[in-house]
């Protein structure tokens, strides 16, 4: 009886095992990278109905974050301004700009401008803006230097790992409460004031929750 398989077939099982191993490894690496928030979220910069530039309004004009996001220090949500807020200035300047047409229309009809939601946490994660900005966590930590962005871009993964990292070591991320809305400021730690940061944590009794109940209800 002649041989069905050539001698080279003896290596086949080993080849298959190695091949499968590499494949599984690649797949795992691919999934862990491409399907995590680091990949799926970071860099998200959708086109907005009005090409609002934070760089112009904050960086150049010098508006405070809270002029538009007026309830950020009171509420869980950082509110997106109403069209009326936009019209506070734009009934004086750029009256006829076609780019502002949706805002003017919204102001007249009362219908909302459909801004695209960028920094969106899952429904089961209950993030609260007020507690962070009132206790030394700056906007920059999660949103990046919005004052330099023409188009707002998702900079941080905002995943649970991202949150927990800071909750485990708040001293590294705290700013002087005066600097929270100053997007060009540095954290106390970055300024080399580690001692001051530790004192902040101690005096303010900063103890970010690390258990589920902090964010999930």
Binding site for other proteins (CB under 8 A): 35, 40, 46, 71, 73-77, 79-85, 106-117, 120, 122-124, 126, 128, 130-131, 134-135, 177, 203-205, 207, 209-214, 216-217
Least Cβ distance, residue 115 to other proteins (angstroms)? 5
Q: Which is nearer to other proteins, 19 or 39 (CB)?
A: 39
Query: What is the smallest separation between the CB atom of 213 and other proteins, expressed in angstroms?
Result: 4
Question: CB 214 → other proteins: shortest distance, Å?
Answer: 7
Q: Which is nearer to other proteins, 83 or 147 (CB)?
A: 83
Residues ≥6 apart with Cβ < 8 Å to 210: 164, 167, 168
The answer to whether 136 and 175 are in contact (CB under 8 A) is yes
Min dist CB 131 to other proteins, Å, is 4
Q: Helix crossing, 83-90 with 101-109: angle to 10°?
A: 120
Question: Among all chains, which residue has been given the structure tokens 């907005």?
Answer: 48
Whichever of 15 and 75 has its CB closer to other proteins, that residue is 75
Residue closer to other proteins, measured from CB, 11 or 77: 77
Cα-based angle 200, 202, 205 (whole degrees, multiple of 5): 95
* Maximum distance among all Cα pairs of the chain, rounded to whole angstroms: 97
Considering the complex, state which of residue 79 and residue 196 has its C-beta at the smaller distance from other proteins: 79
**Minimal distance in Å, beta carbon 2 to other proteins?**
43
Q: Provide the 3-class DSSP secondary structure of residue 118.
A: coil
CB-based contact 207:200 (threshold 8 Å): no
Say if residues 147 and 55 touch (Cβ distance below 8 Å). Answer: yes
Phi, psi for residue 85 in degrees, rounded to 5? -60, -45
């Amino acid at each position: 009886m002649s041989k069905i398989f050539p001698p080279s077939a003896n290596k086949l099982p080993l080849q298959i095992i190695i091949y499968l191993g590499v494949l599984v490894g690649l797949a795992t690496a691919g999934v862990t990278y491409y399907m995590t928030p680091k990949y799926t979220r970071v860099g998200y910069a959708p086109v907005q109905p009005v090409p609002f530039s934070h760089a112009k309004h904050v960086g150049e004009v010098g508006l405070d974050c809270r002029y538009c996001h007026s309830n950020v220090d009171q509420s869980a949500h950082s509110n997106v301004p109403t069209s009326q807020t936009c019209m506070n200035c734009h009934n004086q300047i750029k009256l006829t700009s076609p780019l502002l047409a949706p805002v003017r229309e919204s102001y007249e009809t009362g219908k909302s401008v459909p801004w695209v939601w960028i920094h969106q946490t899952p429904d089961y994660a209950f993030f609260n803006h007020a507690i962070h900005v009132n206790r030394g966590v700056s906007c920059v930590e999660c949103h990046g230097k919005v004052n330099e962005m023409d188009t707002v871009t998702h900079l941080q993964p905002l995943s649970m790992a991202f949150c927990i990292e800071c909750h485990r070591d708040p001293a590294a991320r705290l700013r002087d409460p005066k600097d929270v809305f100053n997007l060009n400021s540095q954290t106390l730690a970055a300024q080399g004031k580690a001692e001051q940061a530790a004192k902040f944590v101690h005096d303010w009794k900063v103890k970010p929750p690390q258990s589920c109940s902090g964010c999930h209800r």
